[in-house]
Structure 1
Amino acid sequence: MVFFGCSTAAKAEDVTQKTVYTLSFSGIKIADAAFNTEVKDGDYTIQADIKAAGIGSLFSDIAVGVKAQGVWQNGGPESRHFFLKYRDGDYARDYAAEFSRKRVIGSTITPDPGPRGDDWVDVRSSHLRNVIDPISALLLPPSPNPCQGSIAIFDGETRLNLELASAGSRPFSTKGFSGRAVGCAIRFKPIAGYERKDDDIEYLANSRELVVWFALNDELNIYAPVMAKIPLKIGQLTIYASQFGV
């Protein structure tokens, strides 16, 4: 399982915000995603529901619920708990991971997926150091060039790196924000917890077209995503913030 998400906080003050995203596939709206962020006493919680919307019957049975919790330390988020509930018709799978000091100390998948095939790349203990959950991962510190370096992610099953490079800037306006957004060209690099011959993962790993645009949330003093274009084998997934940090 590989998951992308977004939005949280950087200051110790208590804050409650909501960011709403529209997901479109090849120009057709397929889902809405509402991310609710709360920061209280130095702890943060991000809770989101992604539900099918519009007409795209290909995705109409998919529903995703996600929750990330942690502390804001040394100017950045530090994961403590991550939960993801995935439903696609009769298919149900729950993922959970627990973190301490940037290390994964436990994870579960329910129901148990059972024995893996020969193509499966096992997650080793060395893969689970200096990592963050996928929701907190896309929170970039305020700097002249936030799009740099590599982010190590564990989502309960898959360990991956996101390698960032600057892709310029552009004007962006939506409810709650008007200004410039910075673009990050992102290279997706699977590390472990996936099948070597997975066509979708291989396609994404070889793509040079994955770009995520970030805007500075003044109240939280952090860059968070406002738009993304994710190439898939069957088309392009576009994510757009119709409401940002309100």
Structure 2
Amino acid sequence: MKTKLSARPARWVAASLVAGAYLAAAAAQPVAAQGKLEAQYEASLAGIPVGRGAWNIVIGDDSYAASAFGGTIGLLKTIANGSGTGEAEGRIVNGALVPANYKASTTTSKKSETIHITLANGNVKDFGIVPQPPVDPGRVPITDAHKKGVLDPMTASILRVPGTADPLSPDACHGAVAVFDGRMRYDLRLDFKRMETVRAEHGYYGPVVVCALYFTPIAGYIPDRPVIKYLAKARNIEIAFAPILGTRVLVPFRMVIPTPIGTAMLEATSFVTQASPPHVAKTQ
């Protein structure tokens, strides 16, 4: 019984951390100017700190890069020690982020795993998991069609708002995105909930737009998994977006997922952004 009770919080925290890093929407709209983000996050379950991580994003003239890392802390570390990293890079074409490469690695006391995805024009060209997981007959198969018109999880975590008005508005919480993470193919959709003001311990102090978030599994998942069932039915997941200065890019500042064993939350403790002027080509 002790083993079962110990593993259950670990599964919910893992799902929450993945959701915090991945569950956001993106739209193919121009990015204004350039900027970067350096942020640190803390994950908690029922008010108890269980993980810490960092996320860096750089938006350049014609390319972008994002990286993240994190690990368990406190009591959870003693029963489910784990850490992970993720990175993505791609080009900026007509103002839109076009992913090219994605990689994510996780390490626990029991195993290590690395996922890589190569994309071109929204289509998966190659992907793999090392070590290769065993085939599970209960998993919904992924077809070639499921690997077209998708974003990798890291790129999908960047919300870009079209137009020229303030990007921090109810209009930011619209649209849906198709995501492929190397194992699962799922859809994410946002709806507007409210506006708030937040203050990080270091860096950002200002408004955020809070969106409801809905998760729909498409393929690559096992339907009987309790976490999948719960997330697919959940109607009370919310995510607060804050801006990267100098751009129309919004990224998660806080995410809240109620679970049967308490509220899971991922929230920025440090959120430092900096605008960079657009590059001006030199002339002879």
Give TM-score, length-normalised by structure 2: 0.79
**What's the counterpart of residue 281 of structure 2?**
none
Q: Is the 8 A contact 1:149 1:164 kept in 2?
A: yes
Q: Does the CA-based 8 Å contact 1:81-1:97 persist in structure 2? A: yes
Describe the superposition over 1:170-205 as per-residue Cα deviations: whole angstroms up to 9, x where unpaired: 111222222211011011100001101111111111
In the other structure, the counterpart of 1:110 is 130
Q: 1:149 aligns with which of 172, 175, 195?
A: 175
Structure-2 change in CA distance of 1:200 and 1:70 (3 Å): same
Which amino acid in structure 2 is aligned with residue 203 of structure 1?
A: Y
The count of aligned residue pairs is 244
In 2, are the aligned partners of 1:11 and 1:42 still within 8 Å (CA)? no
1:244 & 1:65 partners in 2: Cα distance?
A: 19
What are the Cα deviations for residues 117-155 of structure 1, in whole angstroms up to 9, with x where unaligned?
2x2101111111111111111222234411111111111
Return the structure number with greater helix share. Answer: 2
Instruction: Name the structure, 1 or 2, with higher relative contact order (CA <8 Å, separation 6+).
Output: 2
Q: Distance in 2 between matches of 1:58 and 1:220?
A: 41
Pair 1:198 & 2:225 matched: yes
The whole-number CA distance in structure 2 between the counterparts of 1:58 and 1:158 is 29
Q: Is the 8 A contact 1:204 1:232 kept in 2?
A: no
* Structure of higher CA gyration radius: 2
- Structure 1 residues 245, 125: closer, same or farther in 2, change over 3 A? farther
Unaligned runs of at least 5 residues, structure 2: 1-13, 162-166, 274-284
Q: Offset at 1:58?
A: 6.5
1:169 Cα deviation after fit: 0.8
| Aligned-residue offset at 1:16 | 4.4
1:154-169 matched pairs, under 5 angstroms = 154-169=180-195
Relative to 1, partners in 2 of residues 1:219 and 1:104: Cα closer, same or farther, differing over 3 Å?
same
Compute the TM-score of the two structures, normalised by the length of structure 1. 0.90
Give RMSD over aligned pairs.
2.3
Name structure 1 gaps, 5 residues minimum.
Answer: none
Q: Which residue of 1 aligns with 2:39?
A: 19
- Equivalent residue for 1:170? 196
Residue 230 (structure 1) shift: 1.8
Which deviations, in whole Å up to 9, do the C-alpha atoms of 1:25-70 show, x marking residues without a partner? 1111111111122334421111111112233346641111111111
- Match 1:47 to one of 58, 61, 67: 67
2:74 match: secondary structure? coil
Indicate the SS of the match to 1:127: helix
